[in-house]
Structure 1
């Protein structure tokens, strides 16, 4: 029989079939943001994952971490369930962190596009010899272009404050899940 390979998002988990390689390991390669590597390694250790000896590889903003875990792990099913919950919370945190910059950028871009439209109206009005509309459109376009970076800065600060509370709540969930995993692995049962 051959090993089973499962791909989940950016993870690859390879498990040897039961009955083969007693005392063997399952292997996992995870691609994580470079800034979250330490947190991810600590969390993986709580679920029984060990470095597989391949080291960390990666370019740019992400790294790939190689891990292994004994197949003969006590309470394995409960740990896998907790690990899945932890992965969902981590994905939520990543999404929230991306939204801190994405939402303000979209808002500022929209204001910039509206400013460009006002400038276009100004040019067309000038070609039609409508000087008043041309001046109004030009002034409006310039004001919108000047407002875009200010709105971006304000929206970014506001979004960061809002998201910080949600990220903190998800980190608390991950901490609780990690404590439950350590409790399961130590044999004292789940804690809340």
Structure 2
């Protein structure tokens, strides 16, 4: 198997293991994230129906071009514009019973946050300078209406190549020995999206 293929396969498995361990908070208010409705395009899907694609920009440390709402069936894509940081777009459906804003939810203890979020709906990763994101879980399509959390769990300052190599060495499990700080979402790299 080609090295990059093994790495991509390992990333999909590793991301599920990273979510619970990466939760934390540094007290910063990520309300500075940009929200817009201008980053959408409409294309025909395989059945000839209109499908909306929304490009989310990953910067250090925020998501930009996140619309307030999108129709069910929208496909999200990630564009990492960082020159140094690996970024990911991890999307979770927030349970209907949760009414607090995401800025409050991310401050919960890691075990509580993990239990509330459950498994991600989709995970897209993109190293700096890479031409396309890696679809590690799903293809970016959000089919079910509801509130969604968009988060990045990559450790702040982690070397992208070292991180990807550690994921591969872990056989798809949680990488260890990768230098870096708390997850990007603790620096404000999260946003909320409503799917209608």
The TM-score bracket by the shorter chain reads under 0.3
TM-score (norm 1): 0.26
Asked which structure has the greater CA Rg, the reply is: 1
The structure where strand makes up a greater share of residues is 2
Q: Higher relative contact order by CA 8 Å / sep ≥ 6: 1 or 2?
A: 2
TM-score (norm 2): 0.25
